[in-house]
Chain A
């Protein structure tokens, strides 16, 4: 089991990255985490969802957004977060289910796409890719835009 806190630097633990330090085009290095039935259950509870609700081909599967608790780790492992970050937008594309009744080890990676300023705020756009760790089968792609106060 990999709790997100095990792979994601937490705000305030390290000096936060300033906007100037983000590099457009920078690769966000791959890392692995394991989603277990316990993680699926805790996530389902956290979004007021019934873990028994969703099935695919007769099998119990997780709400695919369970990956979202690992999303910021893709960015923060290279660029530790500052306090006060605010999310502006997200895109998720789901390609493969995450079983709710067994472990799934996922490899996540990404890339910084863009930096921009709008209405006095500074934004970072980055992409994330989630694959089954050994098979390399794509599970989901994501794109996030966040703004940070420094």
Chain B
């Protein structure tokens, strides 16, 4: 199962409002460049939220009581890029922007 999301600075700002953060690495281009990024970076938790919603679509009601998600943020995600969220049949989770891997991990159901 796969879903694409186009990230914009407006979406990062919107997530920041509900997230309640003030971490300028998400909002200040000059600061982000000083840290080695080409632009402000998207919240990892925002994109993880995309993946969590995809997990709910994939696994249905069990996701809310037995869902497990483990992610490593291995590359930044920037405004004006499309990220592709993919959960395969074995629960392997990948988030890519073009050919660049951004998140690796798993999304699966816990055994009970």
Would A71 and B18 count as touching, CB distance under 8 A? no
Judged by a CB distance under 8 angstroms, whether B98 is at the interface is no
State in angstroms the CA–CA spacing of A143 and B66 once bound together.
16
State in angstroms the CA–CA spacing of A86 and B48 once bound together.
14
The verdict on A55 contacting B65 (CB below 8 Å), with A39-B18, A69-B45, A88-B72 known, is no
State in angstroms the CA–CA spacing of A95 and B67 once bound together.
7
Interface size on B, residues (CB 8 A): 41
Q: In residues 47-82 of chain B, which contact A (Cβ within 8 Å)? A: 48-50, 52-53, 56-57, 61, 63-73
Contact of A89 among B31, B52, B67, B73 (CB under 8 A): B73
State in angstroms the CA–CA spacing of A92 and B56 once bound together.
13
- Since A10-B20, A46-B18, A47-B52 are in contact, a sample of 5 more A-B pairs with Cβ atoms closer than 8 Å, ordered by chain A residue number, is A61-B64, A65-B45, A68-B52, A69-B20, A97-B64
Would B68 and A94 count as touching, CB distance under 8 A? yes
**Pairs across A and B, CB under 8 Å, 27 listed:** A3-B20, A4-B19, A4-B21, A5-B20, A8-B20, A11-B21, A11-B22, A39-B18, A43-B49, A47-B15, A53-B56, A56-B64, A56-B65, A63-B52, A63-B56, A64-B64, A64-B67, A71-B45, A83-B23, A83-B31, A86-B25, A87-B43, A89-B105, A92-B52, A94-B63, A94-B64, A94-B67
B residues bordering A, Cβ < 8 Å? 5, 11, 14-15, 17-25, 31, 35, 41, 43-46, 48-50, 52-53, 56-57, 61, 63-73, 105, 110
Could you tell me the distance in whole angstroms from the C-beta of A149 to the nearest C-beta in chain B? 8
State in angstroms the CA–CA spacing of A65 and B55 once bound together.
10
Would A54 and B69 count as touching, CB distance under 8 A? no
Could you tell me the distance in whole angstroms from the C-beta of B87 to the nearest C-beta in chain A? 14
Interface size on A, residues (CB 8 A): 48
CB 8 Å contact bits of A1-31 with B (1 = contact, 0 = none)? 0011110101111000000000000000000
Contact of A11 among B23, B56, B69 (CB under 8 A): B23
B68 CB contacts on chain A under 8 angstroms? 91-94
State in angstroms the CA–CA spacing of A45 and B49 once bound together.
11
Could you tell me the distance in whole angstroms from the C-beta of A67 to the nearest C-beta in chain B? 10
Closest to B47 in A: A47
Would A90 and B14 count as touching, CB distance under 8 A? no
